[in-house]
């Protein structure tokens, strides 16, 4: 698939080939339509999801007994690099819902499993994780003010959230809020499930991010009522559930970022081989060659760190130091490689028809969501020292 220092194992070769072929032939040509984020784009995603199922490329990271492909984290890392070459690949291949399915299977009540587990796997619908609040640090849950209390056999939820992905189409919202008798302690946070359409859920507005509409919403919860057993992990255990999903989630983020960096790198190389300037090909200019060298080296270093981290997770290690390192260096690498590709293309990279235009803008988000660089660096250094 590429000049990898450590290539994929032979048993994955055909699967990776089919994933790349599907991505390039079915997803790349319609990315502009998918970027609109309207009803037609949702219909198109559903159509492509059906095609991915027929092609045997659906939910490869979920256990086989749940209807998935049963891949190990190591194998899934290779696959996610291919799926992640397009920002829409994760949804189209049914990979977006992996962490929610596994959290629900492990920590969900019987009522929640009966209602949602099978449908999440088969549909690929992604629940909306409702955590971040206006005016507070999203990386420090201690500042959250949304709260819930028991009234009879129901939870009553009140709060104000934003940057909630898919709030308008998700089957349910998983709302992190304060519960219990110790409202100032971190152990007082719980995750409550609010089905789509529940009375009191107000979708305030869809938020544009750097000119892109990607389904991020501002949401208010006003006296929202859900059954007592619509809780994930039990009262006060939001942190436990979150930590269990964060390490593999960050690993797979990194795999997709590497995939997008590889895509930008391939565009860069093609441009250098075909574009002439100042009496010769761009590929012969030493400063252009520096872009190629730096990008190739950084991509492969992140790839190797990702494989090592995946191996640790497969062996049951929490891998907190390598996961933190990987999240920081890969998000920075992705941004740097795409930036170099933009430099090589010049003004052509900025037009909407160029995949680099969207890749450049979305790459910047990776250094903030799922924990900003600074938080990961502090945590890693604290463990190292």
pTM equals 0.93
Positive or negative torsion for Cα 53, 59, 60, 64: negative
pLDDT in tens, 124-135: 999 999 999 998
What gap in Å lies between CA 75 and CA 295, rounded to an integer? 24
231 has a pLDDT exceeding 60: yes
Q: According to the 3-state scheme, what is the secondary structure of 86-150?
A: CCCHHHHCCCCCHHHHHHHHHHECHHHHHHHHHHHHHHCCCCEEECCCCCCCCCCHHHCCCEEEE
**pLDDT value of position 140:** 76
- Say what percent of the chain tops pLDDT 70: 96
pLDDT score of 370 more than 80: yes
| Tens digits of residue pLDDT in 250-274 | 999 999 999 999 999 999 999 999 9
| Domain annotation for the chain: domains and CATH numbers | 10-102 (1.10.540.10), 128-232 (2.40.110.10), 240-384 (1.20.140.10)
CB 109 within 8 A of CB 233: no
Looking at residue 182, its pLDDT comes to 65
Task: Place 163 in a pLDDT band, splitting at 50, 70 and 90.
Answer: very high
Distance from C-alpha of 79 to C-alpha of 89, rounded to nearest angstrom: 11
Which residues, listed in sequence order, are joined to residue 221 by a DSSP beta bridge? 159, 201
Per-residue pLDDT for 185 more than 90? no
pLDDT at 1: 45
The answer for residues whose C-beta is within 8 angstroms of residue 385's C-beta and 6 or more apart is none
Record the tokens describing residue 307, joined without a space.
């494989």
Interacting residues of 293 by C-beta distance below 8 A, sequence separation 6+: none
What does the pLDDT read at residue 213? 77
- How many whole angstroms separate alpha carbon 166 and alpha carbon 206? 10
Arithmetic mean of pLDDT, 309-319:
95
> What are the φ and ψ backbone dihedral angles of 194, each rounded to 5 degrees?
-120, 110
As a whole number, mean pLDDT of residues 62-78 equals: 94
Give me the chain's average pLDDT, please.
Answer: 92
Comparing CA positions, the residue from 285, 290, 286, 283 lying closest to residue 269 is: 283
CB burial of 333-363 (b: ≥16 within 10 Å; e: otherwise) equals bbbbbbbbbbebbeeebeeeebbbbbbbebb
For residue 256, how many C-alpha atoms fall within 13 Å in the half-sphere facing its CB? 22
Residue 184: per-residue pLDDT: 61
| Res. 22: pLDDT tops 80 | yes
């Amino acid at each position: 698939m590429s000049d990898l220092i450590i290539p994929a194992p032979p048993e994955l070769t055909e699967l990776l080939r089919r994933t790349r072929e599907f991505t390039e032939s079915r997803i790349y040509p319609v990315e502009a339509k998918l970027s609109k984020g309207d009803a037609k784009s949702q219909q198109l995603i559903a159509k492509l999801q059906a095609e991915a199922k027929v092609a045997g490329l659906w939910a490869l990271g979920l256990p086989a007994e749940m209807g998935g492909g049963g891949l190990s984290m190591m194998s899934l890392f290779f696959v996610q690099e291919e799926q992640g070459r397009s920002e829409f690949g994760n949804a189209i291949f049914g990979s977006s819902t992996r962490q929610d399915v596994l959290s629900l299977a492990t920590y969900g009540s019987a009522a929640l499993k009966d209602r949602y587990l099978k449908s999440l796997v088969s549909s690929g619908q992604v629940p909306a994780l409702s955590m971040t609040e206006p005016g507070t640090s999203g990386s420090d849950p201690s500042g959250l003010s949304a709260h819930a209390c028991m009234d009879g056999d129901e939870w009553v939820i009140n709060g104000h959230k934003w940057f909630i992905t898919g709030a308008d189409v998700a089957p349910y919202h998983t709302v992190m809020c304060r519960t219990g008798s110790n409202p100032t302690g971190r152990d007082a946070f719980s995750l409550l499930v609010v089905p789509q359409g529940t009375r009191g859920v107000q979708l305030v507005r869809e938020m544009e991010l750097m000119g892109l509409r990607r389904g991020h919403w501002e949401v208010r919860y006003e006296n929202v009522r859900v059954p007592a057993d619509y809780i994930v992990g039990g009262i006060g255990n939001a942190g436990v559930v979150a930590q269990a999903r964060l390490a593999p989630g960050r690993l797979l983020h990194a795999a997709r970022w590497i995939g997008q960096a590889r895509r930008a790198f391939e565009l860069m190389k093609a441009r250098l081989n075909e574009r002439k300037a100042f009496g010769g090909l761009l590929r012969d200019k030493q400063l252009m060659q520096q872009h190629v060298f730096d990008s190739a080296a950084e991509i492969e270093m992140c790839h190797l760190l990702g494989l090592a981290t995946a191996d640790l997770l497969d062996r049951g290690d929490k891998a907190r130091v390598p996961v933190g390192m990987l999240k920081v260096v890969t998000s920075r690498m992705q941004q740097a490689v795409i930036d170099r590709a933009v430099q090589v293309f010049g003004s052509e990279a900025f037009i909407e028809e160029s995949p680099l235009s969207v890749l450049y803008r979305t790459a910047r988000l990776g250094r903030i969501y799922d924990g900003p660089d600074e938080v990961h660096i502090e945590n890693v250094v604290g463990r190292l020292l």
